[in-house]
Amino acid sequence: MDDTKHPAPAVAPVTADPWAGLRQFTDARIALGRCGSSLPLAESLRFRLDHARARDAVLAPFRREEIAARLAGAGIPCLELDSAVADRNEYLTRPDKGRTLRPDSATLLQAQPAGFDLCLVIADGLSSLAIHENAVPFARAFLTALAPSGLTVGPVCVVRHGRVAVADDIGALLQARLSVILIGERPGLSSPDSMGVYLTWNPRPGTTDEARNCISNVRRGGLPLIEGVRKLCYLVEEAFRMHGSGVGLKDRMPAGHLPFGRELQLPE
């Protein structure tokens, strides 16, 4: 075959972006450069990989038993619960069912002692990956920091197919004054492992979102775990001081804040 009759098509050179140096400071998709009028091939492939990782985070099975076993191994009592959702497909299409407990889980909670200051809930949400990586060390650090306060805490409730408002059902059944839920956030292309933390004063079914406070993007490449715990402790202190949460509870945490007057440390 004579190659001179069929020359290889010309390949447009990759044009670097002048802001490319800023990429060392962020995982955000900035300064990608271009090849002709399109993305360079390497960036196009990286986009597809990030998208696949985000889908995996949503669809990965929730290892609830493993989470419960790790908590129990640290001496933390916990309960394994289900929302009213039947499977992952229904979870994605029926948000209302993810906000309520399945009847047998509600019955299990009704049989527990009640009247706690605080209940802690862990739910897979939209990223099981985020919970697998962050929830147990976060819960251990938070409960350790909370201990000197004297506040009573119910058993940690680990919920499969849960959304934020499922903590309202749990808080009401445990008659808790404040609920805190750790939940996997909707994955971004650069953050499939992001965990959110919501707290709600006087949690009851029908509570609306303006009554909640949120700490977002707790993960290795986002808000460090220890700083997320510090922020949560501050908001808990303020919620009990003012007997409320949501739009009335502002984040005015001073630099170097000591949760409940103690140095904060992560468990081993």
Q: Annotation-wise, does 90 bind a ligand?
A: no
Residue 164 is assigned to a ligand binding site? yes
Strands 195-201 and 178-184: antiparallel
Q: Answer yes or no: is 185 a known binding residue.
A: yes
Q: State which amino acid sits at residue 166.
A: V
What string of H, E and C letters represents the secondary structure of the chain?
Answer: CCHHHCCCCCCCCEECCCCHHHHHHCCCCCCCCEECCECCHHHHHHHHHHHHHHHHHHHCCCCHHHHHHHHHHCCCCEEEEEECCCCHHHHHHCHHHHCCECHHHHHHHHCCCCCCCEEEEEECCCCHHHHHHHHHHHHHHHHHHHHHHCCCECCEEEEECCCCCHHHHHHHHCCCCEEEEEEECCCECCECCCEEEEEEECCCCCCCHHHEEEEEEECCCCECHHHHHHHHHHHHHHHHHHCCCHHHCCCCCCCCCCHHHCCCCCCC
Q: Which residues are annotated as a binding site for adenosylcob(III)alamin?
A: 164, 185, 214
Q: Which residues are annotated as a binding site?
A: 164, 185, 214
